[in-house]
Structure 1
């Protein structure tokens, strides 16, 4: 019998106790870790062109039927007033109290047909409301290759970098038609019809190509052949998992599903296996202290109060009382080196810092301090070769968000939890400097224009 989240919380005693010691491992990207090395692969999307395979690590939730758009509008904070076929958007949902459930990319494939793609947190929330509400909709879920049996339904390839446009024109043998940011178009590659989403990763020109799985290898081979004289670089999971640090997207904030109106029945519905783990130095017995609003992560531009949706009234209050903003924290190199050096010194070392991505739970939440006072939380963390910097994405109080502000990040857990990725270690404090998000000036200036 599948254990539900509600049953697991009862067994553990509290949501925090469950998540702190969850035996699930950090997020797995079930593709080749490195084709060359992750440093060169990170450089590729800034200096030439990178080919990334997204076919395996994300979940697709296909939503169809006469009420599909109404369901999405009822659950999502986005506006759907002009959402047409061949458009996409970053879909965002909150709970009844206006706290973030999660985000994913929503593709409008055809009339009454959508594909919601990303981590499962927000996909689960949408499916639950569709199945338990008064909606004439149908769902087809294609989980990631980490849990699915058999091949994916779709291939999904990412082409990113200054040579991306030239690669697409060479692979298709035709000029690339003008396409707006997050707009879709259709290409022909080696005689195969390929759908494409136009967007940028880390501010670089980009295309996300997708189609039936059976055609994927032929499309991939054609792209590799076309990229031979364009410095095409195949990118593995290590480099790909760190790309969000440049574009400043926080991939897995803790979903606000453990308290509030309407969530008790959801926890009875949700398998605990899809809950993940909680890591980091921030600790509280109250799970709500880990919740975020969309504004904490810079999603204000996507919120539209032109329709009714779950959490609208509460989110309007959050909009009027925004307390945190998203920033990049650039960690002090000497302090990072000292933490790493502790592995070679007697005694208990600092928490291991992996590269290029250092998070050790699905939901990474570390304390950010100023003069010993908590002023925010640090999320995803890792190294950016293109900036020669070790950084984290953070949500911090507005008063401490000015670039150049000095803060400290507490790294490691106290007491140590029992997660598989946690070894005996001691907490350390690492100095950090507040910088904009995205950190890269190119990404800040060009992300939505390429």
Structure 2
């Protein structure tokens, strides 16, 4: 019998203890780590064109049936008033108290047929409500390559960079039609129908291409052959895992599933293996101190009060005066170097800062201070070659979120947890400067163009 999350929490003595000492890896991208080196691969989506393989690390939940749209409308904070087939959106869900469950990309493939793609947190939440809420829907779930037996149902490739359009026109042999952001179009590549989502990463033009798995190698080979003259660079998991830092997307905030209305039933339904792991200097035993709202991550633009959804009443109150704002924190170079130098000095070193991504739990939550007082949390940290900066994405109290504000990130755990990615270390404080999110001006001005 599969252990439920509820049982695992009881056995551990609480959700924070369970998550802090979880033996799961932080995040695994089951694709080649580097094709050349992650620095050159990061540069490719800014300078030429990058090909990223998304086929293996995400979960697909295919949703169909007469009540599919009704279910999504009930669970999602987004507006579905004009969500026709051939479009996609960043699907966002909250619990009844307005705290974030998670987000994923929702594709409206055909009339009454949807594909919800991303990390499992929000996918699990949607499936739970569909199975327990009396909806006439069908689910087909295709987990990532870590948990799946056999091949994926779909290949999924990402083409990003200033040369992406020219490459697409060469490999398809036709002009690329004008397609709005997050709208879909169909192409023919190597004799196969390829579906495409007009996407963008770090402000660059991009296409997310997908189709039946058995056609994926042929399509990929054709893209690589056509891409040689455009400087196509294959991107591995190291560089890909850091791409969110340029677009300012927080990939895995801790889901607000441990307290609140109807979450008892959900934790009894959810397998314990779906719990994830918690890392960082935030050490509160109150799990709600790790929650965020959509407004903390600047998702307020996606919240639509044009329909009844789980958490609407709570979000209406939160929207009147959002407490936090998403920012980029640019870490002080001297302090980063000092933390790394401690690995070569006597005594207990600082927590190792990995490059290009420094996250050591699925949910990374670090304290952010100003003049010694807590003013927010830092979510995800890493190095951006294109800016030559080490940064983190953070949710900061609005009064302290102005660009140029000096803050401090507390790095490392105290006490040190038992997670596999954590070695004996000491906490250190790293100075940081508040900057906009996205940090790159080009990304800020061009992401949704």
Tell me the TM-score normalized by structure 2.
Answer: 1.00
Partner of 1:441: 441
Equivalent residues, number: 449
C-alpha distance in 2 between matches for 1:310 and 1:80: 15
Deviation at 1:272, TM superposition (A): 1.0
Deviations 1:200-249 (A, max 9, x none): 00110000000000000000000000001100000000000000000000
Deviation at 1:321, TM superposition (A): 2.1
Deviations 1:394-416 (A, max 9, x none): 00001111101000000000000
Residue aligned with 1:420, SS = coil
Please tell me whether residue 320 in structure 1 is matched to residue 320 in structure 2: yes
Deviation at 1:199, TM superposition (A): 1.1
Partner of 2:215: 215
Q: Kindly report which structure 2 residues correspond to 1:28-427, keeping only aligned pairs within 5 A, or say none.
A: 28-427=28-427
C-alpha distance in 1 between matches for 2:353 and 2:149: 33
Deviations 1:320-351 (A, max 9, x none): 12010000000000000000000000010000
Deviations 1:274-299 (A, max 9, x none): 11000000111110111100000010
Deviations 1:7-56 (A, max 9, x none): 00000011101001011111000000000000000000000000000000
C-alpha distance in 2 between matches for 1:360 and 1:285: 19
Specify every segment of 5 or more residues in structure 1 that has no aligned partner in the other structure, as ranges.
none
C-alpha distance in 1 between matches for 2:64 and 2:126: 12
C-alpha distance in 2 between matches for 1:203 and 1:372: 35
Residue aligned with 1:85, SS = coil
Give the CA RMSD over aligned residues. Answer: 0.4
Residue aligned with 1:109, SS = strand
Deviation at 1:153, TM superposition (A): 0.3
Deviation at 1:2, TM superposition (A): 1.0
Residue aligned with 1:429, SS = strand
C-alpha distance in 1 between matches for 2:40 and 2:415: 37
Deviation at 1:379, TM superposition (A): 0.4
Specify every segment of 5 or more residues in structure 2 that has no aligned partner in the other structure, as ranges.
none
Deviations 1:247-282 (A, max 9, x none): 000000000000010000000000010110000001
Residue aligned with 1:346, SS = coil
C-alpha distance in 2 between matches for 1:433 and 1:250: 18
Deviation at 1:147, TM superposition (A): 1.1
C-alpha distance in 1 between matches for 2:49 and 2:108: 27
C-alpha distance in 1 between matches for 2:148 and 2:390: 34
C-alpha distance in 1 between matches for 2:228 and 2:170: 11
Deviation at 1:134, TM superposition (A): 1.4
Residue aligned with 1:241, SS = helix
Residue aligned with 1:199, SS = strand
Deviations 1:122-153 (A, max 9, x none): 00000000000111000000000011111000
Tell me the TM-score normalized by structure 1.
Answer: 1.00
